[in-house]
A and B are shown apart, each in its own frame.
Chain A
Amino acid sequence: MSDSIDIINAFALMTNFVILPALSYGSQLALGALAVTLVYSILRFSNFAQGDSMAFGTMIVILLTGFMIGKGWTITGIPTALLVIPIAVIGTSIYMLTMDRLVYRHYRRIKVKQNIVGITASIGVMFITGGIVRFILGASPQRFEDGERFIFSVREFKAFTGLEQGIALKTSQFLTITIAILLVAFLFYFLQKTKTGKAMRAYSDNTELALLSGIDPDKVVQITWLLVAALTTIAGALYGLDKGFAPQQYHLLLLPIFASVIVGGIGSPLGAIAGAFLVSFSEVLLTYAYKKFLIYLLPLSMHPNSLVQLIGTEYKYAISFVILVTVLLIRPTGLLKGKVIDGD
Chain B
Amino acid sequence: MAYLEGTNLVAAYGVVPILHECSVEVEKGELAVIVGPNGAGKSTVMRVLLGMLEATAGEVKLDGQDISMLSTQERISQGLAFVPQNKNVFPSMTVEENLEMGGFLRLDDINKTIEEVYSLFPILYEKRKQLAEELSGGQRQQVAFGRAMMTQPSVMLLDEPTAGVSPIVMDEIFSNILDVRNAGMAVLMVEQNAQQALNIADKGYVLVSGRNEHTGTGSELINDPEVRKKFLGG
Contacts and interface: CB of A to CB of B under 8 A. Distances in A.
A195 to B, nearest CB: 7
Nearest to A212: B82
A201 interface: yes
A202 interface: yes
Contact of A202 (B52, B73, B90, B151): B90
A201 B72 contact: no
B100 interface: yes
Interface stretch (A54-62, A128-136, A213-221, A271-279): A213-221
A218 to B, nearest CB: 11
B87 A209 contact: yes
A212 to B, nearest CB: 5
A334 B52 CA distance: 35
A305 to B, nearest CB: 55
A205 B151 contact: no
B93 A213 contact: no
A214 B105 contact: yes
Interface in B89-134: 89-93, 97, 100-102, 104-105
A198 B72 contact: no
A209 B72 contact: no
B21 to A, nearest CB: 26
B58 interface: no
B215 to A, nearest CB: 27
A216 B73 contact: yes
Given A198-B97, A198-B101, A208-B84, A213 B147 contact: yes
A206 interface: yes
A229 interface: no
Contacts of A216: 73
Interface string B73-95: 10011000010100111111100
Nearest to B103: A213
Contacts of B76: 212-214
A210 B97 CA distance: 12
A211 interface: yes
A337 to B, nearest CB: 11
Given A209-B84, A213-B76, 8 more contacts: A199-B104, A208-B84, A209-B101, A210-B101, A212-B82, A213-B105, A213-B151, A216-B73
Interface of A: 195, 198-199, 201-202, 205-206, 208-216
Question: What are the 7 closest A-B residue pairs judged by CB atoms, nearest first?
Answer: A214-B105, A205-B90, A202-B101, A213-B104, A213-B101, A214-B104, A202-B90
